[in-house]
């Protein structure tokens, strides 16, 4: 036994006597006790499990092996006294397809029967397995893949040297009184951003050692505050394969991070602290500092499939004998994964190798334990679930059928009140996997119909105005039938997956077959509903239009990070594999387009200031008892109270009643009038009557004339500096017509939106 390990196990454990500090103490993993560590793992079908302790992360020969004891249906455990944080460990497992033989040694096939048997077991003791509950891992898998694969020529390769190992850590951290931020998410504006790409570009102004890290993101808090952002949604930060990304044109960088290796550990690559528990400490530091600034932290999480991938293809054909064994598959393949009838193949609705088996009670517990850990120990404030329809699959093996009453969906939303659970409500396959509007009432949803409607309306497609009106009101048709509110609609126009907002206005079609570093990328949606508007001025105008529609709609808005300064990926709409300047923020472009940043910052501030804009109530065109007798929303077209819902219409206007009876706020808000002209020519909109003694003031005009105007800099007036556009005088305030008031109007230029406030 080495001197270092002797030191680790000989020092009194009094200094490390803390136990797990959060309410939902984990049953599995490396659990610190007062005088040692209990290692616990779950495998129903294993016949023998061995714990291997290592002195260093890349060593292949353990300093000690320990045979674990099975208790109950699938629990394996062992308690080791005097083990302390910093110890590296992994598991080897035997089962029916490869039973234990005392003569087995690493690198041999002694005891081997098959790579996969009739029940779906894929045990292989030559593959060192990562603890699914590890809170930190040593490194990514290293090598060409064969090291971790089963099948002829692969199965006897011992992976211990290359395989990631779990590390025992303490959860101690000085939170300085920090807690989860709990308030209705509909009051927030969510900013979707990659934790690395946000600061990785040298022109970010961040020091080299902090670029692309959790601490680097903290340095950007002043920018987020400048934008008035109060929630960041981070693309996956749970450990994924990305350590070997380089500037060479490999085209397989897994940049987005949707191939999860471990569901408890924050990705080491995003940590500037390279100590063994640095990722945990630095992630907690980031959350604490964001919370101090009033910014919620939402994680994008991937529980529908894992980073182990699927069956290997040989000469274009799947060979079921060959799969990667990194963690879940080697521990208990048929517990963690949904299998086909013959148990040799995987049922897949994800396009990434195979569904997680969400019908199994242990797998449900594993997912819930992971989420609870991130909430209670890491202080995360919400989650967005990738391909969440898979989590509602009620078919145990070989099939798909979404069940909105699936017990896992219920267990997730019951974890903690006030923590929003946001579904990406579709999957890559399954006859009823598209579930926009179909999730249980406690769930929030990415509203893909909102996205499509806004794009089609801006691009002047037919039959869009009626759908636009519904989307502006919070999509009552999707969420109003089961007790949900407008706030449950997570509204977005762009996200990481697809074109940026500027690219929607610059390209007619995706441009994925580019040279490095902006491509190439395979796949990507073929129906982006994008349009090249010809001039930079008009493109910026449409960027403002999109933002205005998004941020003035009922629901919870999400902005793709960088859209506020016209970030571009040069038309590439599937940049998952590019850890390059294509995905990194170009902060020089931000400086160039600072007028757009100012517009978005003031627009977000406007929304957050006025309950009539962020209320979660659906406006339905009815009066709810306020003194002025106005309905909550009053539709018009270019003519007062005469909306044009026809298939060729491209104009819409509406008045929002800001009285507290309509918004549910504690006090009355202002009324607003929004005039939308998506057509190419100028149109005069008749203005609604004002309350006695009040006038209409212009808040914003998205047209290019205002971009550099001295009267309305950056296309928007700060609060208190709005420009009056009416004298407040109607001949008959109750007439409901424009007779005698024909001049009471505002000219809205082509492809423009105007917002007025009554004061």
What is the residue range of 701's domain? 637-758
Query: Is 648 found in the same domain as 583?
Result: no
Domain assignment present for 255: yes
Query: Is 654 found in the same domain as 603?
Result: no
Q: Order across the sheet with 48-54: list the strands.
A: 64-67, 48-54, 88-94, 166-167
In angstroms, the CA 428 to CA 349 distance is 5
Which sign does the torsion angle of CA 582, 587, 592, 596 carry? positive
In angstroms, the CA 556 to CA 615 distance is 10
Number of domains making up the chain? 2
Domain assignment present for 531: yes
The pLDDT value recorded for residue 145 is 85
Q: Which of 609, 625, 649 is the last residue of a domain?
A: 609
The contacts of residue 267 (CB under 8 Å, 6+ apart) are 195, 236, 237, 238, 239, 240, 242, 257, 279
The HSE-up count of residue 650 (CA atoms within 13 Å, CB side) is: 21
Query: Is 558 found in the same domain as 501?
Result: yes
The pLDDT value recorded for residue 432 is 94
Question: Which of 386, 452, 602, 758 is flagged as catalytic?
Answer: 386
Among 395, 486, 497, smallest CA distance to 445 is for 486
Query: Is 403 found in the same domain as 261?
Result: yes
3-state secondary structure of 84: coil
Domain assignment present for 237: yes
Question: Which of 267, 282, 321, 424 is flagged as catalytic?
Answer: 424
The pLDDT value recorded for residue 728 is 74
The HSE-up count of residue 432 (CA atoms within 13 Å, CB side) is: 13
The pLDDT value recorded for residue 693 is 86
Domain assignment present for 164: no
Residue 687 · residue 662 · CB < 8 Å: no
The pLDDT value recorded for residue 26 is 82
Question: Phi and psi of 12, rounded to 5°?
Answer: -55, 140
Domain assignment present for 75: no
**What CATH number corresponds to the domain at position 735?**
2.60.40.1180
386 in catalytic set: yes
In angstroms, the CA 293 to CA 178 distance is 12
Which sign does the torsion angle of CA 388, 389, 394, 397 carry? negative
Query: Is 644 found in the same domain as 605?
Result: no
**What CATH number corresponds to the domain at position 352?**
3.20.20.80
pTM for the complete prediction? Answer: 0.95
Query: Is 605 found in the same domain as 641?
Result: no
DSSP secondary structure letter of residue 314 = E
Domain assignment present for 465: yes
Averages of pLDDT over runs of 10 residues in the chain (759 residues) are 39 31 72 94 98 95 96 94 94 98 98 98 98 97 92 97 97 97 95 98 97 98 98 98 73 89 98 97 98 98 97 95 98 98 97 96 98 98 98 96 97 97 94 96 97 98 97 97 95 98 98 93 92 98 98 98 98 95 97 97 98 97 84 95 96 97 96 98 93 92 91 94 84 52 82 97
Classify strands 556-560 and 190-193 as parallel, antiparallel or unpaired.
Answer: parallel
The pLDDT value recorded for residue 619 is 97
424 in catalytic set: yes
In angstroms, the CA 70 to CA 51 distance is 13
Query: Is 525 found in the same domain as 451?
Result: yes
Query: Is 190 found in the same domain as 315?
Result: yes
The string of DSSP letters for 651-690 reads EEEEEE---HHHH--SS----EEEEEE-SSS-EEEEPPPP
Query: Is 724 found in the same domain as 644?
Result: yes
In angstroms, the CA 14 to CA 168 distance is 16
Task: Answer whether the bond into residue 517 is a cis peptide, omega within 30°.
Answer: yes
Query: Is 699 found in the same domain as 598?
Result: no
Query: Is 641 found in the same domain as 605?
Result: no
Domain assignment present for 211: yes
The string of DSSP letters for 692-752 reads TT--EEEEEE-SGGGTT-SSSGGGBPPTT-PEE------S-TTS-S-TT-TT-EEEEPTTE
Domain assignment present for 371: yes
Residue 73 · residue 44 · CB < 8 Å: yes
**DSSP H or E segment with residue 53:** strand 48-54
Tokens at residue 180, please? 């989860």
In angstroms, the CA 421 to CA 410 distance is 11
Residue 110 · residue 125 · CB < 8 Å: no
First-to-last alpha carbon distance for the chain, in angstroms, is 79
Query: Is 641 found in the same domain as 602?
Result: no
Among 553, 579, 118, smallest CA distance to 345 is for 118
């Amino acid at each position: 036994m080495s001197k270092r390990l002797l030191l680790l196990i000989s020092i009194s454990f009094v200094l490390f006597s803390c136990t797990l500090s959060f309410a939902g103490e984990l049953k599995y993993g490396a659990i610190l006790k007062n005088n040692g560590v209990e290692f616990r793992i779950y495998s129903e079908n294993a016949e023998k499990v061995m714990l291997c302790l290592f002195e260093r992360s890349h060593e292949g020969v353990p300093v000690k092996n320990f045979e674990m004891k099975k208790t109950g249906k699938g629990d394996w455990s062992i308690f080791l006294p005097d083990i302390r944080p910093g110890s590296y460990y992994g598991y080897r497992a035997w089962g029916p397809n490869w039973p234990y033989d005392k003569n087995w040694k690493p690198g041999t096939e002694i005891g081997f029967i098959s790579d996969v048997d009739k029940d779906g077991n894929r045990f292989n003791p030559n593959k060192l397995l990562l603890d699914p509950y590890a809170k930190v891992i040593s490194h990514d898998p290293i090598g060409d893949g064969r090291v971790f694969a089963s099948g002829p020529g692969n199965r006897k390769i011992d992976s211990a040297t290359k395989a990631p190992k779990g590390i025992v850590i303490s959860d101690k951290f000085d939170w300085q009184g920090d807690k989860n931020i709990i308030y209705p998410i509909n009051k927030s504006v969510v900013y979707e951003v990659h934790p690395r790409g946000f600061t990785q570009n040298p022109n970010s102004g961040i020091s080299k050692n902090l670029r692309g890290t959790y601490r680097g993101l903290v340095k950007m808090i002043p920018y987020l505050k400048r934008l008035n952002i109060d929630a960041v949604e981070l693309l996956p930060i749970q450990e994924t394969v990305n350590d070997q990304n380089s500037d060479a044109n490999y085209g397989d960088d897994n940049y987005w991070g949707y191939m999860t290796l471990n569901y408890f550990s924050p990705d080491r690559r995003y940590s500037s602290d390279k100590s063994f528990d640095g990722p945990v400490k630095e992630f907690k530091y980031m959350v604490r500092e964001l919370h101090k600034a009033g910014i919620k932290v939402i994680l994008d999480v991937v529980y529908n499939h894992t980073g182990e991938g699927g069956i290997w293809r040989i000469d274009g054909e799947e060979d079921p004998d060959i799969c990667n064994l990194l963690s879940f598959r080697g521990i208990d393949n048929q517990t963690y994964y949904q299998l086909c009838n013959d148990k040799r193949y995987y049922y897949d609705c994800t396009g990434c190798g195979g569904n997680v088996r969400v019908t199994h009670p242990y797998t449900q517990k594993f997912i819930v334990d992971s989420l609870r850990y991130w909430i209670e120990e890491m202080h995360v404030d919400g989650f967005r679930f990738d391909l969440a329809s898979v989590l509602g699959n009620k078919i145990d093996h070989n099939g798909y059928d979404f069940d909105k009453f699936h017990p896992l969906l219920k267990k997730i939303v019951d974890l903690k009140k006030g923590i929003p659970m946001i579904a990406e409500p579709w999957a890559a396959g399954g006859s009823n996997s598209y579930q926009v509007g179909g999730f249980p009432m406690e769930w929030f949803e990415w509203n893909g119909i909102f996205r499509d409607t806004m794009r089609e309306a801006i691009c002047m497609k037919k039959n869009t105005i009626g759908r636009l009106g519904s989307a502006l009101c919070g999509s009552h048709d999707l969420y109003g039938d089961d007790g949900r509110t407008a706030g449950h609609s997570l509204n977005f126009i762009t996200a990481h997956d697809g074109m940026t907002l500027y690219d929607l206005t610059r390209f007619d079609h995706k441009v994925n077959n580019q040279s490095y570093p902006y491509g190439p990328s395979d796949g990507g949606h073929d129906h982006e509903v994008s349009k090249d508007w010809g001039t930079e001025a008009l493109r910026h105008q449409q960027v403002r239009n999109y933002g205005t529609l998004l941020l003035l709609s009922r629901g919870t808005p999400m902005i793709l990070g960088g859209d506020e300064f016209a970030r571009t990926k040069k038309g590439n709409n599937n940049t998952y594999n590019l850890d390059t300047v294509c995905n990194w923020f170009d902060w020089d472009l931000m400086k160039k387009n600072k007028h757009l940043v100012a517009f978005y910052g003031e627009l977000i501030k406007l929304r957050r200031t006025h309950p009539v804009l962020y209320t979660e109530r659906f406006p339905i065109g009815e009066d709810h008892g306020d003194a002025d007798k106005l309905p909550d929303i009053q539709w018009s077209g270019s003519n007062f109270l005469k909306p044009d819902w026809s298939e060729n219409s491209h104009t819409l206007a509406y008045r929002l009643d800001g009285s507290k009876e309509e918004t549910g706020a504690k006090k009355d808000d202002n009324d607003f009038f929004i005039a939308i002209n998506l057509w190419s020519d100028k149109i005069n909109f008749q203005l609604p009557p004002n309350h006695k003694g009040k006038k209409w003031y212009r808040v914003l005009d998205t047209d290019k004339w205002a971009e550099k105007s001295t009267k309305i800099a950056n296309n928007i007036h700060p609060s208190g500096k709005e420009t009056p556009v009416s004298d407040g005088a109607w001949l008959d305030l109750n007439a409901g017509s424009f007779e005698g008031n024909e001049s009471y109007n505002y000219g809205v230029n082509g492809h423009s939106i105007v917002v007025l406030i009554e004061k």
